[in-house]
Amino acid sequence: MQGPLLRVLIVALVLLVAAMLAIPRAPLPEPDNATVLPLARPLPDFELTDARGAPFTKSSLEGRFTLMFFGFTNCPDVCPITLQVLASAVERLRETAPDEVPDVVFVSVDPFRDTPERIGEYVGVFDPSFIGVTGPDERLEPLLTALSVAVEKHEHHGEQYNVVHSGVVYMIGPRAEWIALSSSPHVPETIAADFLKIRAAYLRRPPEIERTSAASPD
* In the chain, domain spans: 30-204
At 194, which amino acid appears? D
Q: Specify the pairing of strand 66-71 against strand 103-108.
A: parallel
Give me the count of residues in the chain.
218
Flag whether pLDDT at 152 surpasses 60: yes
pLDDT digits (tens, 9 = 90+) for 113-135: 999 999 999 999 999 999 999 99
Mean pLDDT score of the chain: 86
CATH number for the domain formed by residue range(s) 30-204: 3.40.30.10
Question: Exposed, middle or buried: residue 44 (CB in 10 Å: 0-12, 13-18, 19+)?
Answer: middle
pLDDT digits (tens, 9 = 90+) for 1-31: 455 665 656 655 655 555 444 444 556 678 9
